[in-house]
Amino acid sequence: MTVILRSLETAVPDTIMVQPEVRDVFAAQPGLTRLGQRLVGAAFDSSGIETRYTAVRELTLEETFEDPVFFDREELRILSPSTKTRNEVYATEGTRLFVEAARKALDAATGIEASDVTHVVTVSCTGFFAPGPDYKVVRALDLKPSVQRYHLGFMGCYAAFPALRSAKAFCEADPDAVVLVISAELCSLHVRSSNNPDTIVGSSLFADGAAAAIISARDLPLDGPALTLDHFETVLTPVGEESMAWNIGDEGFEMVLGTYVPHIIDEHIVGALEPLLARDASLQGLDYAEIEHWAIHPGGRSILDKVEAKLGLSKQQLVPARETLRDYGNMSSATVMFVLKNILEKPASDGNDRICSMAFGPGLTVETALLTRIGATRSDAGTGTAADDAAVGRAPGDADVPAELEPILTQAGA
Predicted local confidence at residue 128, as pLDDT: 96
**Which sequence spans correspond to the domains of the chain?**
226-385
- The DSSP code for 153 is E
Q: Which of 157, 171, 187, 356 is catalytic?
A: 157
Strands 119-124 and 148-153: parallel
Return averaged pLDDT per consecutive 10 residues of the chain, 414 residues in all. 97 97 96 95 95 96 92 94 97 98 97 97 97 98 98 96 98 98 97 91 94 97 94 89 79 75 85 95 94 94 93 97 98 98 86 89 92 70 39 43 52 48
- Whether 125 sits among the annotated catalytic residues: the reply is no
Strands (E), 206-304: 208-216, 226-236, 244-249, 252-257, 293-296
The CATH H-level (homologous superfamily) assignment of domain 226-385 is: Thiolase/Chalcone synthase (3.40.47.10)
The beta-carbon contacts of 127-136 under 8 Å, at least 24 apart in sequence, are 127/86, 127/87, 127/90, 127/91, 127/94, 127/186, 127/189, 128/87, 128/90, 128/153, 129/87, 129/90, 129/91, 133/94, 133/95, 133/98, 133/182, 133/184, 136/95, 136/98, 136/99
Strands 226-236 and 365-374: antiparallel
Predicted local confidence at residue 351, as pLDDT: 59
On whether the pTM is more than 0.85, the answer is yes
Predicted local confidence at residue 239, as pLDDT: 78
